[in-house]
Structure 1
Amino acid sequence: MASTFGGLNTALSALYAQRRGMDVASQNVANANTAGYSRQRADMVPTGGAVVPAIFATPADKAGAGVKVEDIVRLRDNFLETRGRAEHAQSSYLTGKQDLYTRIEGVFAEPSDTALGAQLTDFWAGFGDVANRPGDTAARNQLLQRAEVVADGLRAGYDALSSQWDTSSTQLGAYTTQLNNAADAVAALNQAITQATAAGMPSNEMKDERDLRLMELAELAGATTVARENGAVDVYIGGSTLVGGSTARHLVPTGANRLEDQAGAEVELRWADNNLEAVVTVGTMGAGLETLNNIIPGYAGELDAVAVSLANEVNSRHRTGVGLDGGTNRDMFVDNSAGVIGMTARTISVGLTLPEEVAAGTINGTLDGSLATTLSKLGSATNGPDSIYRSAVVKLGVESQTAQRRADIQGRVTGDMDALRFADSGVNIDEEMTNLISYQKAYEAAARVLTSLDEALDTLINRTGLVGR
């Protein structure tokens, strides 16, 4: 026999379900401005009647038995999240390179009246002054001062690049620590989520926190993820496992500690447990590795090439000349490392100390300025130091502009993807207000059903049989 009170149970289930819906809507509104929060939805399903008949029982009421909240669903699209992490990883990589090129442009500071290009121009003009006044020690002294300015400009440029390298190396170490901490956090959250899922406890907020950490790992090193059926996620970097369930691995930076040592010991990221190289090509750390191993050493090499060309071109000719003191076979530029390192932008210096040591011509005396005239024309040489330097500056400008353009384009792509992600998982206040009103009206209707059933039962129980008394 169907229960007389089945309607009460149906109305009561509606009260419970609609109240739960209002609770979920309230949680969404409360976290509308919480970073990383994903809106939630109460999934309601109808409760049907009994489908297995009992012995001697009349068939169940076909109207069903009410409603229940089957689950509190976290509205987040895994495809959009995966795409979002990939776009953020690429954006972090390109932004890191763009920032570096901007800093390197500050080192070269071209075009400028005081940068190395102008210093070289003044240096060659100094030879022209000596050629015009071979016997004037003031002109020779001015030439030596300009030579020292050029050498100092090369050393300062290298030192500035070395400082940038040191800063990038320190940042890579900090990013590695940040990545290791984030990996530990994901492993701990995996364990908590797995336990909560197995026990039927809520875990949506923990998943939101984990997604924030996963985005952090993607931005740092381009980490990718694979979800498990038990609620955990595995995290990979370059095809190797960073987080597996509740276990996290760590990375350590290895290699050179100074720019001048980089050629013999490239900076790498290695796994702490087996010392194998971790392949990181995107993200902030990918940009950091390229900075330390390619970009800064490349431009330091350009300055070295300028220094070597300057020394070779000037010294090879200056050795053939004669100074005012009669001396010959002298180098104007020398390696201050005494041959330990070799001529570089870091070690170049002026080897002459007295203006009489400057060779203006090939004949002893004060009237021969032929050699100085020849040297003054080196500034326009096709493969001279100026040409090498101009090529480096042009290359820097092109690469910087390219990096800027790529970063801007990727920024727009990433912004569009974030907009899609937020539209899918972000809280819309208007929508939540509509939901609240809908749940409220449904709750009021269920309460009215209870009232109607209560009045009917009151009539049945307390008033039946009173007619005619």
Structure 2
Amino acid sequence: MGSTFSGLNTALTSLYAQRRGLDVTGQNIANANTEGYTRQRVTMQAQNASLVPGIYATTDAIGNGVTVSSVDRMRNAALDQRSYTEHANSAYHNARAGAYNLIEDVFAEPSDTALQARMADMWDGFNKITTNPSVTAPKASLLEEANTVASSINDAAASLNNQYESARTGLDTYVDDVNKAAESVAKLNNQIVVASKAGLAANELQDQRAQTILSLSELVGASATETPDGSINVFIGSSPLVSGFNARSIEIAPGSATRLEDLSTTDVNLRWSDTTTGVAAGGTMGASMELLASGGTLQTMTSRLDKVASTLADTVNAIYKTGYAVDGTTGNDFFVRNDGDTTQAVTASTISVGVTDPAKLAISSGDPTGTPKVLNGNIADTLSELADSRSGADSEYQSMIGELGVSAQSAIRRRDVQNAVTDQVDAARDAESGVNIDEEMTNLLTYQRGYEAAGRVLTTIDSMLDQLINRTGMVGR
């Protein structure tokens, strides 16, 4: 049979349990806008009067109240794994699309001030000389337009190299971020395992760890698996980054390229610090490696721009060399390297105009100083027709811009599709683990009423005991 005072303990356990529910609900409300926070739920369990009743026990086994068995994180492990994968894919496609947008900004086509329009002005300048081969003004104008074309190509090459150096510096920063995050996950693993074995809740630490792993997935395409002791192992590809309480580090191999021109002799190598084997990076770093590597996007675009510059120089010089200037000068190049090196081909970063004096322009098919003297604009006319050549610089440049536009549009479409998928996964996660203020307010009222009811039970039992202790035996006095 239960004790006279057992009801006090029953009511007291209810007060403790309802108060714990109020505390957890308040924690949820306080962190409703905290990134990475997972809502928590109190799980209550009735306490039995006797866990192992005897054979001849006569207890009524009504129970000894309620206890909080656990405070659970409302997390779905499958959605977490899906989130890591989709966020890694989104980070990769976002970085890739962003890189293509920057490259498109370099050329800014179509535009009245872009390279295509500049070359059109130059060809038109040659055409104007055709009708007035002895007039200086059209020649001076042509030289200015040609210098603008060369400068535009130089600037585009410099911008691509600047983008390379910026992305390369960013890769160094990403490596440091990955190593720090890996160390953080290893430390959190240790703290969570120790807390769990001590019977303590580590929900907030688990939230912090999950958020760090999500950052790793976005940075380097990491995946994760949970172990029975509560720690999480993190992988890049199939190689472990974090194993229990231990973290590995990654590095960029010494001597890796830091400029576009370095790619002719070396590459950008991302490797494990302990084994020096390659890292199969995904996420933002995967896109950066694709951008920076030998044969990558930036080197390919620079090579195509070099092809435009060399085609322009070769096609113009081949015709220009056969012409005569007013003073009879012939056999010179119109486009040359700005470093004076005649043994190397003209490139986008080195192309320049080799003629500075309008009087030295070789635009005549005949020698103005010969016998008979011939001064015409036939060479200039032939050069102006290069604008429509299918093998000329314009055609090469248009092909390059067309391919760039297709690649950029494809990258943007894939980014948009992937972001939509990631948003859907995030929405599913939020529905599972996000804090709903309306739901928490309902819980708040529920625990409040439970607490008040337990207090009323405690007051009632106290009144009964007061009657028993202080009033019994008072009859007739």
Change (3 A) 1:341 1:176: farther
Answer with 210-219 or 401-410: which moved more. Answer: 401-410
Once residues 395 and 156 of structure 2 are traced to their aligned partners in structure 1, the CA distance between those partners, rounded to angstroms, is: 17
Once residues 108 and 345 of structure 1 are traced to their aligned partners in structure 2, the CA distance between those partners, rounded to angstroms, is: 13
Deviations 1:14-71 (A, max 9, x none): 222112111111221222222222111111112223253447x533323233221111
Once residues 80 and 58 of structure 1 are traced to their aligned partners in structure 2, the CA distance between those partners, rounded to angstroms, is: 49
Identity %: 46
Give the alignment partner of residue 348 of structure 2, picking from 329, 334, 345.
345
Answer with 153-162 or 443-452: which moved more. Answer: 443-452
Helix, strand or coil at the partner of 2:332? coil
Distance apart, 1:182 and its partner CA:
1.4
Helix, strand or coil at the partner of 1:226? strand
Letter in 1 for 2:108: A
Instruction: Quote the residue 2:203 is aligned against.
Output: 204
Helix, strand or coil at the partner of 1:64? coil
Once residues 124 and 459 of structure 2 are traced to their aligned partners in structure 1, the CA distance between those partners, rounded to angstroms, is: 104
Instruction: Quote the residue 1:394 is aligned against.
Output: 402
Once residues 93 and 346 of structure 2 are traced to their aligned partners in structure 1, the CA distance between those partners, rounded to angstroms, is: 34
Deviations 1:52-100 (A, max 9, x none): 3447x53332323322111111112122222222222222222222222
Instruction: Quote the residue 2:280 is aligned against.
Output: 279
Helix, strand or coil at the partner of 2:98? helix
Instruction: Quote the residue 1:305 is aligned against.
Output: 307
Helix, strand or coil at the partner of 2:233? strand
TM-score norm. by structure 2 comes to 0.91
Distance apart, 1:298 and its partner CA:
1.9
Instruction: Quote the residue 1:133 is aligned against.
Output: 132
Answer with 348-357 or 197-206: which moved more. Answer: 348-357
Helix, strand or coil at the partner of 1:96? helix
Task: Tell me, yes or no, if the aligned pair for 1:2 and 1:58 is still in contact at 8 Å.
Answer: no
Instruction: Quote the residue 2:97 is aligned against.
Output: 98
Change (3 A) 1:48 1:389: same
Helix, strand or coil at the partner of 1:68? strand
Instruction: Quote the residue 2:371 is aligned against.
Output: none
Letter in 2 for 1:389: Y
Matched, 1:450 2:458: yes
Alignment of 1:32-181 (within 5 A): 32-54=32-54, 58-181=57-180
Once residues 96 and 324 of structure 1 are traced to their aligned partners in structure 2, the CA distance between those partners, rounded to angstroms, is: 55
Instruction: Quote the residue 2:16 is aligned against.
Output: 16
TM-score norm. by structure 1 comes to 0.93
Q: Which runs of 5+ in 1 are unaligned?
A: none
Distance apart, 1:346 and its partner CA:
0.8
Distance apart, 1:359 and its partner CA:
2.4
Helix, strand or coil at the partner of 1:135? coil
Task: Tell me, yes or no, if the aligned pair for 2:326 and 2:375 is still in contact at 8 Å.
Answer: no
Deviations 1:133-183 (A, max 9, x none): 233344333333322221111111101111111111111112221222111
Answer with 113-122 or 338-347: which moved more. Answer: 338-347
Change (3 A) 1:52 1:106: closer
Task: Tell me, yes or no, if the aligned pair for 1:7 and 1:453 is still in contact at 8 Å.
Answer: yes
Alignment of 1:394-413 (within 5 A): 394-413=402-421
Matched, 1:437 2:439: no
Once residues 309 and 468 of structure 1 are traced to their aligned partners in structure 2, the CA distance between those partners, rounded to angstroms, is: 125
Task: Tell me, yes or no, if the aligned pair for 1:323 and 1:360 is still in contact at 8 Å.
Answer: yes
Deviations 1:354-392 (A, max 9, x none): 334332233212433322222110110112100111122
Letter in 1 for 2:17: A
Matched, 1:361 2:364: yes
Once residues 266 and 381 of structure 2 are traced to their aligned partners in structure 1, the CA distance between those partners, rounded to angstroms, is: 44
Helix, strand or coil at the partner of 1:36? coil
Distance apart, 1:430 and its partner CA:
1.8
Task: Tell me, yes or no, if the aligned pair for 2:28 and 2:39 is still in contact at 8 Å.
Answer: yes
Once residues 99 and 453 of structure 2 are traced to their aligned partners in structure 1, the CA distance between those partners, rounded to angstroms, is: 64
Task: Tell me, yes or no, if the aligned pair for 1:2 and 1:59 is still in contact at 8 Å.
Answer: no
Answer with 157-166 or 370-379: which moved more. Answer: 370-379
Alignment of 1:218-297 (within 5 A): 218-254=217-253, 255-281=256-282, 283-293=283-293, 294-297=296-299
Once residues 341 and 75 of structure 1 are traced to their aligned partners in structure 2, the CA distance between those partners, rounded to angstroms, is: 66
Distance apart, 1:122 and its partner CA:
1.5
Answer with 181-190 or 406-415: which moved more. Answer: 406-415
Once residues 112 and 336 of structure 2 are traced to their aligned partners in structure 1, the CA distance between those partners, rounded to angstroms, is: 26
Once residues 97 and 168 of structure 2 are traced to their aligned partners in structure 1, the CA distance between those partners, rounded to angstroms, is: 17
Distance apart, 1:395 and its partner CA:
2.1
Distance apart, 1:421 and its partner CA:
1.7
Distance apart, 1:459 and its partner CA:
4.2
Once residues 121 and 222 of structure 2 are traced to their aligned partners in structure 1, the CA distance between those partners, rounded to angstroms, is: 52
Helix, strand or coil at the partner of 2:363? strand
Distance apart, 1:399 and its partner CA:
2.5
Distance apart, 1:13 and its partner CA:
2.0
Alignment of 1:375-390 (within 5 A): 375-390=383-398
Task: Tell me, yes or no, if the aligned pair for 2:365 and 2:375 is still in contact at 8 Å.
Answer: no
Letter in 1 for 2:279: A
Once residues 219 and 344 of structure 2 are traced to their aligned partners in structure 1, the CA distance between those partners, rounded to angstroms, is: 36
**Once superposed, what is the RMSD of the aligned Cα atoms?**
2.2
Answer with 328-337 or 207-216: which moved more. Answer: 328-337
Distance apart, 1:9 and its partner CA:
2.8
Once residues 421 and 400 of structure 2 are traced to their aligned partners in structure 1, the CA distance between those partners, rounded to angstroms, is: 31
Answer with 138-147 or 372-381: which moved more. Answer: 138-147
Q: Which runs of 5+ in 2 are unaligned?
A: 369-373
Matched positions, count? 467
Once residues 141 and 9 of structure 1 are traced to their aligned partners in structure 2, the CA distance between those partners, rounded to angstroms, is: 103
Distance apart, 1:276 and its partner CA:
1.5
Once residues 252 and 68 of structure 2 are traced to their aligned partners in structure 1, the CA distance between those partners, rounded to angstroms, is: 50
Once residues 99 and 439 of structure 1 are traced to their aligned partners in structure 2, the CA distance between those partners, rounded to angstroms, is: 50
Instruction: Quote the residue 1:195 is aligned against.
Output: 194
Distance apart, 1:423 and its partner CA:
2.1
